[in-house]
Amino acid sequence: MQSQEKGINEEEKKIFGKIANTVRQLTIDAVERANSGHPGLPLGCAEIGAYLYGKALRHYPEDSKWLARDRLVLSAGHGSMWLYSLLHLSGFDLSLEEIKNFRQLHSKTPGHPEYGHTDGVEATTGPLGQGLGNAVGMALALKILGEKFNTPEYTLFDSKVFCLSSDGDMMEGVGQESSAFAAHLKLSNLILIFDSNHVTLDGPLADSGSEDTLGRYRAYGWEVFEVDGYDLDALHEIITHLRQNQERPAFILAKTVIGKGAPKKAGTSKAHGSPLGAEEAHAAKVNLGLSEEEFHIPKAVLAFFAEKLKKEKERYDEWQVLFRKWSKANPELLKDFNLMKEKVIPADLEERLWNIEMKPSLAGRKASQGVLEVLSELMPQIYGGSADLSESDMTMLKKYPLISPGHFGGRNIKFGVREFCMGTVANGLALSQMITPYVGTFLTFSDYMRNSIRLAALSKIQVIYQFTHDSIFLGEDGPTHQPIEHYASLRAIPHLHVIRPADNNEVKMAWVAALRYTKGPTAIILSRQVLPELAETKVHFKDGLGRGGYIVKKERSKPDFTLFATGSELHLALDVAEELERHGKDVRVISMPCWEIFDAQDLHYRNAVVGGDLGKRVSIEAGTCLGWHQYIGIDGIPIAMDTFGASAPASALAEEFGFQTDAILERILT
């Protein structure tokens, strides 16, 4: 079969070759100038990039957030110059000057791609496997949007999600979990290209891996293809087939040569993560027929992408006309579309949540489920699920069906026992621009999700984590399931808001904070055990939880003691305060559900709550004391856990570890 019949003519082949070598040119020059970077993947995958950005991808760089675009995620984020070169050539807002400033302070070309920092970057990637999971989340989001908004007459969403991955993505557990999950849901809009070059950073792949990767993906249930990474006819034939006939996620193993063109380092780990060096870089340029002029871009390449942009605008304009027709024909769907696109939060959200009727004593997880049920009715953008714990972490939306293989009309997602996957898929859902995801598991299992939580915080995307079973008081499951260091561990992540509400009232306001106050991810940490509703916490958001920390019991004149508490220990702190007053002591009690929000308050407010002579300062929280001394001072007394828990009923654990009124009094009065 001739190349013309396959859809790539000789003229296109020539220009794709020029584009590929331009990617190599820019990569070599940028990495050498920075004296830092990973040239191997860009040199090896240049033809794949030339084909994807030159022909396969349907996007419009002048509106890089166009909802109907194809997405491309570079999961192998270390190969960032591959992406930066192609974004610049394609017409995204990434100048040649930024390419020249690769890996320099404040440039738009950091070492690994960062969402929101560089135009055209779809996800923050680098920790291997994370981008693959993000791509699965994006594909799921597009399936959800397609089922919700496509009609027999009008198709708004039919785009594809492409992901370029490396051996590291194949090895990391998060990539394996996400791949299995994608296959289960039959995500027929996901195309994963595996850069199979048989080399890892540490040496030949054979030193650490010998699995049948194709066989593994067949076993998952993916459509599987194998191709020479430089055979664009074959790659085009596969992509064309998938555009028309894809029924499951597709895995394309592309055989490449890492560092292609470098005479001494090609095919070796020496091309992976270090500059080629002046001598090898020069030899590579000669070998590839590149220009000695730094950062040279052939005029033919610039002309090609300028012409391509015109064609992309035609497709973009056609979709805009389609959208207007769809909008006129489907006014009710349009309402939901706009609510989701704008992530609209009801103006009277706080009032609506206060009006939710709840039992006066309720577990934090149960109270949060009650809030979620109301939020799902008010906000069509809310979707969520759990890692096989929906009946225990209370994340199931009872009014809506499950999302299931090939069926995406529900609002509940069962991730299975795949916390790694769940975190990365949640990020992908958030990156869709129209979905606000929440996900749930036990707090102690947040460790499995830590990297994805960190990347959500770095990306400043809105993901809400419902972490339950928040302390030793979950009881008999014992120390393997009882979180100790987890509050401190999560609080240490910049831009993550960690909220540990004390009762129904603070749970309601925690959701207001997560949806309205915070601009990134939020972890709401909830109890398994029943907690009493406290009159002291029933205050407006702006005066209570919206301040992060606030006074729930005011001293009469000058405090002898100031008690700080979060979550299930707040009612204990109030009981301790009552007993202290019987001993003739004056006491202030402060609820501190969210340190991050409190620390963001103005100095005047913070001083009014925690400043000055507050007597003896005591923190009460059933976790490690790490971090509390910033509020209680070096001489303060932390009532905390400095060891792991034990398997026993909650009441026995409270006695064993000193979380009882008498035990606390004995400690702080001596």
Query: Residue holding tokens 């110059």?
Result: 81
b/e code 272-301 from CB counts within 10 Å (16+ = b)? bbbbbbeebbebbbeebebeeeebebeeeb
Burial class (CB in 10 A: 0-12, 13-18, 19+), 562: buried
How far apart, in whole angstroms, are the C-alpha atoms of residue 460 and residue 462?
7
3-state secondary structure of 531: strand
**Residue 123 vs residues 126, 199, 448, 455, 565: alpha-carbon distances, Å:** 10, 25, 20, 9, 37
Residues catalogued as catalytic: 419
- State the DSSP H helix or E strand holding residue 383, giving kind and residue range, or none if neither: strand 382-386
Query: Residue holding tokens 């995801």?
Result: 437
Q: Where are the beta strands (DSSP E) in 443-539?
A: 464-468, 497-499, 522-525, 530-532
Closest CA to 39 of 74, 78, 76: 78
Query: Residue holding tokens 């205050």?
Result: 539
Q: Please, how many CA atoms are within 13 Å of residue 569, restricted to the half-sphere of its CB? A: 30
Q: Please, how many CA atoms are within 13 Å of residue 233, restricted to the half-sphere of its CB? A: 9
How far apart, in whole angstroms, are the C-alpha atoms of residue 572 and residue 652?
16
Closest CA to 284 of 267, 298, 309, 302: 267
**229, 233, 238, 244: CA torsion to nearest 10:** 150
